[in-house]
């Protein structure tokens, strides 16, 4: 059983079908890269896994659980955006700590973990 599997996924924006019957299986520890010309649906596939868009048809299974209808903020998936997407109104520390705060990690641990990633010069 694969860790992540997309089954017969179809994604469309209005009448424009972007992904049609996509099937993909990824094993634990496997490194996957999607290649293709622009507009072929690489980003759409990633955004579907991230939960930013909904599939019109098909199923997304992760670790044996159906993730198809789980909203983004409950997926706990990391996602790197093309534009970095830093929070402009927050400090560097609060940018780093943002995810931990949302997960209700205790303040002390946030400080310790957050500071571990920042080096003061």
Please check whether residue 113 is in contact with residue 100, taking contact to mean a CB–CB distance below 8 angstroms.
Answer: yes
Binding mask 16-55 toward another protein (x if CB under 8 A, else -) reads ----------------------------------xxx---
Span interacting with another protein, options 20-28, 29-37, 60-68, 82-90, rule CB under 8 A: 82-90
- List 31, 81, 119, 121, residue binding another protein (CB under 8 A): 81
Output the smallest distance, CB 34 to another protein, in A. Answer: 19
State how beta strands 16-26 and 65-66 pair. unpaired
Residue 15 binds another protein, judged by CB under 8 A: no
DSSP result, 40-102: SSHHHHHHHHHTSS--SEEEEEETTEE-TT--GGGT------TT----TTS-HHHHHHHHHHH
Q: Which is nearer to another protein, 6 or 96 (CB)?
A: 96
- List 64, 65, 87, 121, residue binding another protein (CB under 8 A): 87
Please check whether residue 19 is in contact with residue 41, taking contact to mean a CB–CB distance below 8 angstroms.
Answer: yes
């Amino acid at each position: 059983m694969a860790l992540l599997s997309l089954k017969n996924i179809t994604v469309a924006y209005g009448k424009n079908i972007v992904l049609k019957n996509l099937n993909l299986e990824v094993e634990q520890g496997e490194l996957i890269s999607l290649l293709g010309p622009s507009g072929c649906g690489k980003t759409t596939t990633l955004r579907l896994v991230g939960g930013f868009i909904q599939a019109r048809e098909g199923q997304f299974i992760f670790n044996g659980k159906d993730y198809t209808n789980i909203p983004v903020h409950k997926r706990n998936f990391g996602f790197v955006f093309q534009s970095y997407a830093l929070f402009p109104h927050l400090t560097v520390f609060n940018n780093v700590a943002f995810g931990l705060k949302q997960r209700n990690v205790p303040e002390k641990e946030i400080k310790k973990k957050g500071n571990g990633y920042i080096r003061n010069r």
